[in-house]
Amino acid sequence: MDWDIIEESIPAILHALPVTLGLIGTSLLIGFVLAVLVALGQLQKAWLISRSAHFFVYIFRSSPLLIQIFLIYYGSGQLRDELSAVGLWHLFREPWFCAILALSLNTAAYTAEIIRGGIKSVPMDLLEAGEAIGMNKQQLFRRITFPLAIRQALPAYGNEVILMVKSSSLASTITIMDITGVYKEIASEYFSPLEPLLIAGSIYLLLNFIVTQLIAYFERRLAI
């Protein structure tokens, strides 16, 4: 154990914390909004909408996130002319944009399944009661289905957030210097991987601990 390396890696790794938090926060936010749309799409009666929502979920859940990131970041290079034509190339050139896009789509697919399960768990008689007192479709969804579905989906969503904390590390493979990126740099520079791992690993463990506590807090607050 070399204390000099530990001393040197603490500020460097802490410096990368905002990058990791930014990746996680932004993709969770975008991913959640997308997930609600996809889950609703899956439950639509219209064949085309429900099929394409299911297809989206199938693709993103059955393939590794690393390939999704590479496909968006490197793969878009082959489609440069097409992307320039629609004015999107300057976005796909940015590793940040590609990482957030891949992470958001990935978490959207997993979260959509969780939300769909939550929506399906809402008892029919509650909806019938809502209808009986004259609520329209939007009111039923906003006042009955959505709040109950979210409560039901919360524990599973907590697991998904923990997975996202871990998944955000893959952004380091496309040159983003998040905690894992900085860790790799230090580990290969000093050729001693253990000391910086203690720092980087504890930060990830701490993040996940905070996530579990937050989810537990919301579960208690929203207890039915």
Partner 1 sequence: MDVSILSWGDTGWGDEFFFATLMTLAVATCSFLLGLVIAVLAASMKLSQRRWLIFLANIYTTVVRGIPELLVIYLIFYGSGTLLMSIASSLFGIHDYIEMPIFLMGVLCIGLSSGAYSTEVIRGAVQAVPTGTIEAAQAMGMPVLVRFRRILVPQTIRFALPGLGNVWQLTLKETSLISVIGLTEIVRISQIGAGSEKKPFIFFITALLLFLILASLSNRAYKLLEARAEKGVRVN
Residues 57-86 that bind partner 1 (CB under 8 A): 58-59, 62-68, 70-71, 74-79
Between residues 155 and 201, which has the closer beta carbon with respect to partner 1?
201
Q: How far is CA 55 from CA 20, 33, 39, 135, 153, in A?
A: 29, 18, 12, 33, 22
Cβ neighbours for 145, distance < 8 A, ≥ 6 positions apart? 119, 122, 127
Looking only at residues 126 through 165 of this chain, which bind partner 1 when binding is defined by CB under 8 A?
A: 162, 165
In the complex with partner 1, the residue whose CB is nearer, 88 or 127, is 88
For the bound state, the minimum distance from the C-beta of residue 45 to partner 1, rounded and expressed in Å, comes to: 27
Give which of 30, 62, 12 is closest to 177, Cα–Cα. 12
Among 175, 182, 17, residue whose Cα is nearest residue 98: 175
Angle, vertex CA 89, rays to CA 88 and CA 91, nearest 5:
75
Shortest separation between residue 215's beta carbon and partner 1, angstroms: 14
- Output 140 or 165, the one with its CB closest to partner 1: 165
Which residues would be at the binding site for partner 1 (CB under 8 A)?
A: 58-59, 62-68, 70-71, 74-79, 162, 165-170, 172-173, 180, 183-184, 187-188, 191-194, 197, 200-201, 204-205, 208-209
